[in-house]
Amino acid sequence: MNAKKRSKYAYFYIAPFFIVFLIFSLFPILYSFVLSFCDMDVLSGKFTFVGITNYKRMVESGYFFQSIGNTLLIWIMSIIPQLTIAFVLSLILSNKWFRGKFLLRNIYYFPNLVTPVTIGLLFGALFSYPGGAVNNVISMLGLEAVDFQNNQMLARMVIAIAICWKNFGYNIIYFTAGINSISEEVMEAAQVDGANGWQRITKITIPLMKPILIYVMVTSIIGGLQIFDESKLVFTSVPGNATTTMVKYMYDSAFVRFQFGYGAAVAYGIFVIIAFFSLVSLRVTGDKKDDYGKKREGRRSKLTRK
């Protein structure tokens, strides 16, 4: 039997996926685009075409830009400690003499699996005022209890801590895979040449890990721009909506204030922002040469080459 005759079965195999894809992925995306030019009447549910009014309002009202600012602030406050701690710990865990790697790695990683809803509630309760667990510790130290929820910056910080807590273990596993992919020969050669542990880290591991570090840093922004669960759940109300992220703003517009047309416009606004950062990250990470002048083949091949 020839391959041509069999090829008709291929359509049978891809049919379920593409039918669902067309109906429940592609159509909603296009439909959202149409809706973003419409305004919905809350009572009748009818849509009327309003042109670019929604987009104009999005740009002019300032709330959307404020939500971008909130998102970026929360992202920066979570990503810097998250990557620093994860990198230092993955260096520590890669030492041969270190005992208890298995247990520690599991403790570090487990928060990543906890339901985001639970993380939201848990951090809301931990940092509540005046009787939260953190405030109890602060009071014990003889300091005054802090009202985290009603301070814009502190409220953002609590959300950043929650995200950092959730993700740093993931990055440890990721970095460990990167460190393990550095060839033994390079390390042994350095050892023969008399490099001590500190020199091996600063002169070999860090330079060789730099592309991975930059990659994780830049690409994590795409996930960071989509923070929603923590923003919605940690604190119920923060002055000036200081913790409202872009996706939370979209959700509020559509599903709390029932402005579906405007919400769809915000969804496309978010898309533009994410596309912009994706392009920047492609430029930063793509087509780079590593320190030996060898072209990087991308992070997948780098990691599988254990």
For the segment 9-38, give every residue that binds other proteins (CB under 8 A).
9-14, 16-18, 20-21, 24-35
Q: Which residues pair with 49 in a beta bridge?
A: 38
> Which positions from 45 through 74 interact with other proteins, judged by CB under 8 A?
none
Q: Quick check: bond before 111 cis, omega within 30?
A: no
CB of 187 to other proteins, least distance (A): 18
Residue 120 near residue 230 (C-beta atoms within 8 A): yes
Instruction: Examine residue 149 and tell whether it contacts other proteins (CB under 8 A).
Output: no
Residues in the chain: 306
The nearer residue to other proteins, 202 or 293, going by C-beta atoms, is 202
**Distance of alpha carbon 152 from the chain centroid:** 21
CB of 291 to other proteins, least distance (A): 21
Instruction: Examine residue 276 and tell whether it contacts other proteins (CB under 8 A).
Output: no
Q: Of 229, 238, 244, 285, which one interacts with other proteins (CB under 8 A)?
A: 229
CA distances (Å), origin 137, targets 18, 103, 116, 118, 143: 55, 27, 25, 22, 9
Instruction: Examine residue 133 and tell whether it contacts other proteins (CB under 8 A).
Output: yes
Alpha-helix runs per DSSP H in the chain: 3-21, 27-35, 53-61, 63-93, 101-109, 116-126, 133-140, 152-180, 184-192, 197-200, 206-224, 229-233, 246-251, 260-285, 299-304
Neighbours of 234 (CB within 10 A): 27
Instruction: Examine residue 154 and tell whether it contacts other proteins (CB under 8 A).
Output: no
CB of 197 to other proteins, least distance (A): 9
Instruction: Examine residue 136 and tell whether it contacts other proteins (CB under 8 A).
Output: yes
Tokens of 29: 């995306």
Q: Of 50, 68, 72, 104, which one interacts with other proteins (CB under 8 A)?
A: 104
Q: Of 37, 64, 87, 108, which one interacts with other proteins (CB under 8 A)?
A: 108
Q: Of 42, 43, 140, 192, which one interacts with other proteins (CB under 8 A)?
A: 140
CB of 184 to other proteins, least distance (A): 18
> Which positions from 72 through 101 interact with other proteins, judged by CB under 8 A?
85, 88-89, 92-93, 95, 97-98, 100
CB of 68 to other proteins, least distance (A): 14
> Which positions from 158 through 187 interact with other proteins, judged by CB under 8 A?
165, 168-170, 173-174, 176-177
> Which positions from 234 through 263 interact with other proteins, judged by CB under 8 A?
236, 247, 250-251, 254-255, 260, 263
Tokens of 162: 């929650």
- HSE value, Cβ hemisphere, 13 Å, CA-based, for 89: 22
Instruction: Examine residue 274 and tell whether it contacts other proteins (CB under 8 A).
Output: yes
Number of residues that bind other proteins (CB under 8 A): 100
Please name the residues in contact with 225: beta carbons below 8 A apart, sequence gap of 6 or more: 71, 75, 246, 270, 273, 274, 277
